[in-house]
Structure 1
Amino acid sequence: MKTTDQDAILETRGVTKRFGQFTANEGISVVFPRGQLTAIIGPNGAGKSTFFNMVSGAFAPTEGAIWFDGREITGLAQHRFAHLGIAKSFQVTNLFPDLSVLENVRVAVQALESGFDFWRPRASRRDWIDKAERLLARVGLQDKRAFRAARLSHGEQRALEMAVALAADPKLLLLDEPTAGMSPEETRTIMDLILALAQERTVALVEHKMKLIMGVSDRIVVLHQGRLLAQGSPDDIRANEEVRRVYLGKGAH
């Protein structure tokens, strides 16, 4: 079924990104349907990371436009993306390793709600801690709230990073390679968490594990050599001969 503009929480219209003479992305128009889980895939060098950086506000497109929730956000500062309701979890874990699990999330809550206004009443700090506790429960880390973040396993650190991202109460959660470097058991755990979060908000992710993506995504965007190759349901992507040729191979059968 075709996705209309009214269905889209995020849309890119002909976005291009150049670095000097190198064109990393060219003319990409993609719709991210509201309330769905969309995966961005493609072989190495396909331009996934650059595209993801544009839709998260880290890079401004050289050309084209980005629309979020009915308004154009092209070129806005990255912190404005967060305030509008877009949160990103990075491929490289981005935590305070020497702070406790709880403090990592509490700091994120405080930064978003007060801008580090340390003169706020203590009651506000209790609110921040309560919210951090709820977020840790949401990602299954409430029993490790007192652990230093550095003590967590890789999978637990990714779950903690998701809790940090959720501190902003985002409408759209962007996840960059959320299962990278994980064991099969950790992968299953984190994907169960992502699927649960996708019941509450729109999720978009970059991921390389194809069998995983085909089984969990509502929609898939395929990039190749910096351009959009295809977008559609997993069945659409499986049936696309060009996608099979350049990326999926025999494993897509």
Structure 2
Amino acid sequence: MVSSSAIEQPILRAEGLGMRFGGFTALNGVSVAFPEGQLTAIIGPNGAGKSTFFNLLSGAFAPSAGRIFFRGRDITGTPQHRFARLGIAKSFQITNVFPQLTALENVRFAIQCMSQRFNIWTPRHRYTEMSARAAELLEMVGLDRHYHRLTMNLAHGEQRALEIAVALACDPALLLLDEPTAGMSPEETTAMMGLITRLASERTVILVEHKMKLVMGISNRLIVLHHGELLAEGTPEEVRANDEVRRVYLGQGNH
């Protein structure tokens, strides 16, 4: 059970978030506080507004209404490229890595971008340090046997794990994951859920997922969206017992 003090001091807070695309309202008045040090899953059936909510939280879109606060600081409208400097990293549903580079090169490049501007006079030992850190992150996500494999030759689940390693390059306090198991086999899904659980033991994780049962066993807290509005929030036990949630998911083919 998340304590009231954790809710009072959230790492991320959304106040009255709304998003309109022309005449279509994708998200309407969503207010949620995300406790620090917890794994929170945002769930809901297809078309519930999960991806829109994720895009607002991660800075991909500026909201049509409402505000977003990170550790008490208003970050509404902050350019997305500044989020890593704030301590927020994200991994999108569509893999976003360089296919022609090796796994190690992808992560080292991300570390280099965070640590300094490109400089042809950078001492060799700095690259050695960055390579060592990249290797640590690859080991963390279970890719320690694939340092020198081209990314294009990695399996889908391995590419998703690599993208998470890239996201970890900035040592984020908050990690945002958009449908991290999308397109994965059952074996890959199990491995990814294990990885997310390990990552959540060291930082705050917020993930978007449409498979309700998949996240029930690993989440501290669930946010349920439906038709762009907040339907329910609470512990997995509280959400599981919610009559409205059960009605919405009944017959949805939930995995």
TM-score, scaled to structure 2: 0.94
Offset, 1:250 = 9.1
- In the other structure, the counterpart of 2:164 is 162
Q: Is the 8 A contact 2:38 2:200 kept in 1?
A: yes
Inter-partner Cα distance in structure 2 for 1:248 and 1:70: 38
Match of 1:46 in 2: 48
Q: How many residues align?
A: 252
Residue of structure 2 in register with 1:229 after alignment: 231
Letter in 2 for 1:140: G
After TM superposition, give the deviation of residue 21 of structure 1 in Å: 1.7
* Deviation (angstroms), 1:19: 1.6
Offset of 1:33 from its aligned partner? 0.8
Distance 1:18 1:247 in 2: 25
Q: Which residue of 2 aligns with 1:185?
A: 187
RMSD: 1.6
Residue 31 of structure 1 pairs with residue 33 of structure 2:
yes
Deviation at 1:248, TM superposition (A): 5.0
Query: Where does 1:28-177 land on structure 2 (aligned, <5 Å)?
Result: 28-177=30-179
Letter in 2 for 1:166: L
Q: Is the 8 A contact 1:3 1:31 kept in 2?
A: no
TM-score by length of 1: 0.95
Q: What is the Cα deviation at residue 249 of structure 1?
A: 5.3
Q: Distance in 1 between matches of 2:39 and 2:73?
A: 21
- Of 203, 210, 224, which aligns to 1:208? 210
In structure 2, give the amino acid aligned to 1:242.
E
Deviation at 1:117, TM superposition (A): 3.4
SS of 1:167's equivalent?
helix
Alignment gaps of 5+ in structure 2: none
One-letter amino acid matched to 1:171: A
Distance in 2 separating the partners of 1:126 and 1:134: 12
The Cα shift of 1:136 comes to 0.8
Distance change (3 Å), C-alpha of 1:188 and 1:202:
same
**Contact 1:56 1:88 survives alignment (8 Å):** yes
SS of equivalent to 1:144: coil
- TM-fit CA distance, 1:247: 2.2
Gaps of 5+ in 1: none
8 Å contact 1:85–1:170 — kept in the other structure?
yes
- Is contact 2:40–2:221 with CA below 8 Å preserved after alignment? yes
